[in-house]
Amino acid sequence: MALTLLRGIRTPTLLRANFSLLCTTQRHPLAHFTTRAESVQTTEPKAVPKSIQQATKEAAEQKIQGFESVIGIETHVQLSTITKAFCSCPNNYGSQPNSTVCPTCMGHPGTLPVLNAKVVECAVKMSLALNCKISMTSKFDRKQYFYPDLPKGYQISQFDIPIAEKGYLDVDIPVEFGGGHRRFGVTRVHMEEDAGKLLHSESGSYSQVDLNRAGVPLLEIVSEPDMRSGIEAAEYGAEIQRLVRYLGVGNGNMDEGSLRCDVNVSVRPIGQSEFGTKVEIKNMNSFSAISRAIDYEISRQILLYKESQADQIVQETRLWDESSQKTFTMRKKEGLADYRYFPEPDLPEVVLTGEYIDEIRNLMPELPEAKRRRYENIGLSMQDVIFLANDDKVAHFFDSTLEHGTDAKLAANWIMGDITAYLKDEKLSIDESKLTPLELSEMIAYIKNGTISGKIAKEIVVDLIAKGGTVKSVIEEKDLVQIADPAAIEAMVDQVLTDNPKQLEQYRAGKTKLQGYFAGQVMKASKGKASPVLLNKILGEKLKGSC
Amino acid sequence: PSDHQSPPTQSPNPHTLSLPTSKPQTPTRTGVRRRTSPPAAAMPPPLQAHRMLLSHRRASPIPRRRFTAVSSLSSAPAKTLAPGPPASSILSIRESLLSGERTAADITSEYLSRLRRTEPSLRSFIHVAAAAAEREAEELDRRIASGGRDAVGPLAGVLVGVKDNLCTASMPSTGGSRILDGFQPAYDATAVRRLREAGAIVVGKTNLDEFGMGSTTEGSGFQVTTNPWDDSRVPGGSSGGSASAVSARQCVVSLGSDTGGSVRQPASFCGVVGLKPTYGRVSRFGLMAYASSLDVVGCFGSSVFDTATILSVIAGHDKMDSTSSSHDVPDYRSDLASLSLLESKPLNNVRIGIIQETLGEGVDAGVISSIRSAASHLEQLGSVVEEVSMPSFSLGLPAYYILASSEASSNLSRYDGIRYGQQVSADDLNEMYGDSRANGLGHEVKMRILMGTYALSAGYYDAYYKRAQQVRTLVKKSFEEALGKYDILISPAAPSAAYKIGEKTNDPLAMYAGDIMTVNVNMAGLPALVVPCGFVEGGSAGLPVGLQMIGSPFSEGKLLRVGHIFEQTLPDLSFVPPLLADD
């Protein structure tokens, strides 16, 4: 059967999209190519740390214990170009297996790669954002290894002359993790192509190859070993994701594998100059997982050190297992893998001009770091700063609101509070909201001048997000103008006090907390329109007077 | 290594280069034999004779420079085999089609019947698409009959053989390898597509050394092709099938590929014209890669004019090959004047350098004298011929084998049995890779993959691959220098004429040494044309020797012009093999 399937993918037939198209490599029990997902239980060293909590705690106390961890990250960013890197197949996520393939990305005989210019543009954008030195002339190389998801038997990548080198990335550590500003070095940025995907059958008796992803453009970003904790590494990754999204070079979705982080972790006694043995961790699908995986790994390694079993820390690739919150050996590295890199003879060198780079530089948007510094300068708290700059769409909404003269803190509060909460519930993004920055600023102005109360505004804002329209029309339509007439409020207060003699009695007996109850009743009577300030003032006076 | 110049493998006594006396020079109907004395490689013909030669040619129409030209030089009479200097078969076909003298079906059937008759002994083709060719010919006849002459392409009715490492959507394409047995590509190689668009009829896929790795076509995974001049000898390689098919007129012209001499050496062995264009002149898209930085698609014809016609059609930039050049493509035929229009010294002002290092030790004496005699002929045509020394010449061969093998080790990784081609079932992945490749790939290919893998390995890269690249730069520079002084450099295309089947199969170094004349040209990316120029003793009618002419990048026009004049004025030699005596 598998053979028939295999024939199904061959040559002209496979170009017919409706065929079902999985190319199969059958009957190769998993020894080799299912290791990525499997073998998880096999080679765990005996000394397993006692518990996660303890491990995490120990990680946090690592410095006290006299150890330092060293972390470097390799990030793969899928570029959302319309077509693949070296052929004109569509670059779509989630298509039917083997439906976005052609002879070139399937590695058929005689095919040649042709570089998609958009890939270079994205690489230059990203390199500029990472403050890198861009190589005016770079080249492609072949990285060679055999694997069924690699159709040509080599990956087109860049080896000794990457498109950019020697950059850095500034991040702000969230306040809840201690805060602070960090700068992490970026060693290099290079362009390469993604491999296909293996789909393993449930029985494990065969595996299938989906080549839709083969040839999808990637940027590999390699950091300096500058990070010292899980949270620093997670923040570094999150900042890369922000850059990818700000620049529009990719979607940065970790769950789709559009952004993948491989982390190298080693520990060493403080004072030791050479690095400890580094361990690579893969399979983390969120930044929080990155942080937890690293902290776990640090504590695992420190524990081995402390138990004089440092020789059990070996150069290997470990997988993060979300369910047990542990890392497990995936494969031990037998010496250095020899990829036999050599210059890709099918592609000419990539030669850039200063003009080309300037053109791209001039079109770069304001990046998250610049935004954060700007927000900081207008007096927002670090928490607000980090929140607002996190998503370029949110930041853009915020900036547009400010352009209408709105107070920054008030705008920030609305965006971070009610608006975000509502959008989150409805699973919408801010650019899907029908609320415009102009209307938000209008609404804030109405609150400020007393036309509506904050409480009313909370209702209005939901309406505006869902249905759009202007604040003014919603207020008028629903008759929501605040009751700011003291006489009218006084009448309502009187009515409430009259209607609740029992509670008034209790109040007089000293249960002054009941003032809140009365206020609520009045607000209810006014259908929420009573000015809270006036209401509280009048109610207070009345209650005092009634004692 | 200094052993790259093997002793001459076939060493006829240099004093016996005259015509075999056992067979008198009876002019046959077809003129398959050298027609007259003097002996090929003896004295250069006196200028007188040469002039006479020029003057007794029949007058031809004024050359016209469009594809629609009926004739710009003597085309062969309707019967394709005729005595005299090689005439353009393409023009002759066109003429007879457009004049209504013959039908495409008629012409196709002539070639096919010759193919059927000769193929059992030659085995030039891995796949023959006779029925398809007949169908296409009939279709063409219908178009001509219905008055669609203007829609008839420049190669209408021309039967083309295509080396089997060029992809064809309508025929299997194996690259000569068992691992691709039965593989049928999803697309036509650009060169093939352009031929088809020009009206050519692809008659079949020609045999080759597996993936182009070899110099004899013995390295084919399927069959051994023989030399039309002597069926006990190799046709050369790796494009041996393409060369022998044209030599035996099984097809009109053919496509080959040349990584280290794979078009030029078989052209020399089989007595046909072979052109290796400048690197990038012809798209490689659809050519199964052997060594990407050296590979070029080349072509064979029985005349320079036909070869030029094919180049005009297949050359040019291709968006599917980023290493293809956007350099202008001239009509390469336009400078190929009819004999009657040539001046007495048509090569005045042409400076020719004869590469000293190619006429020394290890080169067959008969080959040397053929080349020297060709040089004298060029001198008589008005050119200045001088010896030029290229000291780095001998460095090229070892460097070539390192670079070509390195790239091959990578290019052939895709033949893993996973997606296409022959797969051997096994219990685990590595075993499946190993068994599929062990089973599907031949000995020579495996050897080169191993050499290349070794040369690219960590710790060896600098000593081998990088050093070889440095040698490549040296070779390039020395050619640049020499081509600064000379318009054209000449040399043999191979150190010997065709040798016996099996003679070198167990001695790879001797086999590799045979590439000494050609590999440097690939390293420098230059164009080179091989034109038959003489004979050495061997077989029943002597064995052809080719003259290699090397030019600067994109100087194909110049090479073809000189080659054409050389060929048209070369006295008294006919390069139609004895195999066709019965035609």
Shared domain check, A339 and A473: no
Shared domain check, A28 and A155: yes
**What pLDDT is stored for residue A24 in this prediction?**
42
pLDDT tens column, A305-358: 888 888 888 888 888 888 888 888 887 765 567 899 999 999 999 999 999 999
B409 within 8 A of B402, measured Cβ to Cβ: no
**What pLDDT is stored for residue B28 in this prediction?**
37
| Among B3-12, B112-121, B378-387, the least confident range | B3-12
Q: Which residues contact A258 (CB under 8 A, 6 or more apart)?
A: A77, A78, A80, A93, A250, A251, A252
What's the whole-number mean pLDDT along residues B410-436? 93
Q: H or E element: which one contains B302?
A: none
Quote the CA–CA distance of B244 and B179 in Å, as a whole number. 24
- Residue B1 in any domain: the answer is no
Would the CB atoms of B166 and A110 count as touching at under 8 Å?
Answer: yes
Would the CB atoms of A28 and B289 count as touching at under 8 Å?
Answer: no
- Residue B408 in any domain: the answer is no
Q: H or E element: which one contains A54?
A: helix A52-60
Shared domain check, A277 and A420: no
A155-169 core/surface letters (b: 16 or more CB in 10 A; e: else): bbbbbebbbbbebeb
Q: Taking the complete model, does pTM exceed 0.80, yes or no?
A: yes
Reported confidence tier of residue B579, pLDDT bands at 50, 70, 90: confident
Chain A within 8 Å of B465 (Cβ-Cβ)? Answer: yes
What's the whole-number mean pLDDT along residues A128-141? 97
Find which of A308-312, A384-388, A393-397, B496-500 is predicted with most confidence, using mean pLDDT. B496-500
B238, B254, B324, B409: the catalytic one is B238
Q: Chain B: residue nearest A35 by CA?
A: B429
pLDDT tens column, A77-100: 999 999 999 999 999 988 999 999
- Residue A432 in any domain: the answer is yes
Shared domain check, A175 and A139: yes
Would the CB atoms of A103 and B433 count as touching at under 8 Å?
Answer: no
B477 in active site: no
Shared domain check, A453 and A327: no
Chain A within 8 Å of B319 (Cβ-Cβ)? Answer: yes
Quote the CA–CA distance of B303 and B86 in Å, as a whole number. 5
- Residue B426 in any domain: the answer is no
Shared domain check, A261 and A133: yes
Would the CB atoms of B169 and A12 count as touching at under 8 Å?
Answer: yes
- Residue A361 in any domain: the answer is no
CATH at A503: 1.10.10.410
Q: Which of B291, B406, B416 is opposite residue A146, by nearest beta carbon?
A: B416
pLDDT tens column, B124-173: 999 999 999 999 999 999 999 887 767 688 999 999 999 999 999 999 99
Q: Which of A477, A494, A521 is the last residue of a domain?
A: A477
Q: Percent of chain B scored above 70 by pLDDT?
A: 85
Residue A199, beta-bridge partner list: A208
- Count of H helices and E strands in chain B? 16, 11
pLDDT exceeds 80 at position A64: no
Q: Which residues contact A139 (CB under 8 A, 6 or more apart)?
A: A158, A161, A343, A344, A347, A349, A350
CA distance A107 to chain B (A): 7
- Residue A364 in any domain: the answer is no
B90 within 8 A of B309, measured Cβ to Cβ: yes
B60, B75, B124, B163: the catalytic one is B163
- Residue A3 in any domain: the answer is no
- Residue A366 in any domain: the answer is no
A369-378 core/surface letters (b: 16 or more CB in 10 A; e: else): bebbeebbee
CATH at B531: 3.90.1300.10
Range of the domain at B571: 89-398+463-580
Residue A326, beta-bridge partner list: A321
Choose among A184, A186, A189, A255: nearest CA to A217.
A189
CB atoms within 10 A of CB A17: 12
Using CB atoms within 10 Å of the CB of residue B238, give its burial: 0 to 12 exposed, 13 to 18 middle, 19+ buried.
buried
- Residue B406 in any domain: the answer is no
Chain A within 8 Å of B292 (Cβ-Cβ)? Answer: yes
Restricting to B residues 338-367, those with a Cβ less than 8 Å away from any Cβ of A are: none
**Entry field: residues in chain A:** 547
Secondary structure of A86-107 as H, E, C letters = CCCCECCCCCCCCCCCCCCCCC
Longest dimension (CA), chain B: 76
Quote the CA–CA distance of A237 and B119 in Å, as a whole number. 66
Shared domain check, A496 and A472: no
- Residue B411 in any domain: the answer is no
Choose among B533, B544, B547: nearest CA to B489.
B547
* Residue in A104, A108, A198 to test binding to B, most B beta-carbons within 10 Å: A108
Shared domain check, A490 and A445: no
- Residue A181 in any domain: the answer is yes
pLDDT exceeds 50 at position A45: no
Would the CB atoms of A112 and B321 count as touching at under 8 Å?
Answer: yes
**Measuring CA to CA, how many Å separate B466 from each of B458, B462, B471?**
12, 5, 9
Chain A within 8 Å of B427 (Cβ-Cβ)? Answer: yes
pLDDT tens column, A504-547: 888 888 887 888 888 888 888 877 778 788 888 888 887 877 65
Q: Which of A477, A505, A535 is the last residue of a domain?
A: A477
**Measuring CA to CA, how many Å separate B532 from each of B267, B270, B279, B367, B493?**
8, 9, 23, 11, 10
pLDDT tens column, B299-325: 999 999 999 999 999 999 999 999 999
Give me the sheet containing A197-200, strands edge to edge.
Answer: A23-26, A206-210, A197-200
- Residue B476 in any domain: the answer is yes
A23 within 8 A of A6, measured Cβ to Cβ: yes
* Residue in A98, A340, A351 to test binding to B, most B beta-carbons within 10 Å: A340
Strands (E), B437-577: 488-492, 528-536, 543-550
- Residue B195 in any domain: the answer is yes
Q: Which residues of A touch B184 (CB under 8 A)?
A: 11-12
pLDDT exceeds 80 at position A228: yes
A358 within 8 A of A126, measured Cβ to Cβ: no
Name the token pair of B45: 């013909």
- Residue B425 in any domain: the answer is no
Q: H or E element: which one contains B478?
A: helix B467-485
Chain A within 8 Å of B65 (Cβ-Cβ)? Answer: no
Q: Which residues of B touch A152 (CB under 8 A)?
A: 413-414
Q: Which residues of B touch A19 (CB under 8 A)?
A: none
pLDDT exceeds 80 at position B234: yes
* Residue in B407, B418, B427, B430 to test binding to A, most A beta-carbons within 10 Å: B418
- Residue A372 in any domain: the answer is no
pLDDT exceeds 60 at position A140: yes
- Residue A469 in any domain: the answer is yes
Range of the domain at A422: 391-477
Name the token pair of A515: 């003032």
Shared domain check, A166 and A128: yes
Shared domain check, A473 and A527: no
Ranges of H-type helices in A205-348: 230-247, 287-306
A489 within 8 A of A482, measured Cβ to Cβ: no
State the first-to-last Cα distance of chain B, in angstroms, to the nearest integer.
48
Question: In terms of pLDDT, which residue wins out, B385 or A11?
Answer: B385
Cα atoms in the Cβ-side hemisphere of radius 13 Å centred on A7 = 5
**ipTM of predicted assembly, 2 dp:** 0.85
Q: Which of A425, A446, A477 is the last residue of a domain?
A: A477
What is the number of structural domains in chain B?
A: 1
Restricting to B residues 377-406, those with a Cβ less than 8 Å away from any Cβ of A are: 406
B206 within 8 A of B245, measured Cβ to Cβ: yes
What is the number of structural domains in chain A?
A: 3
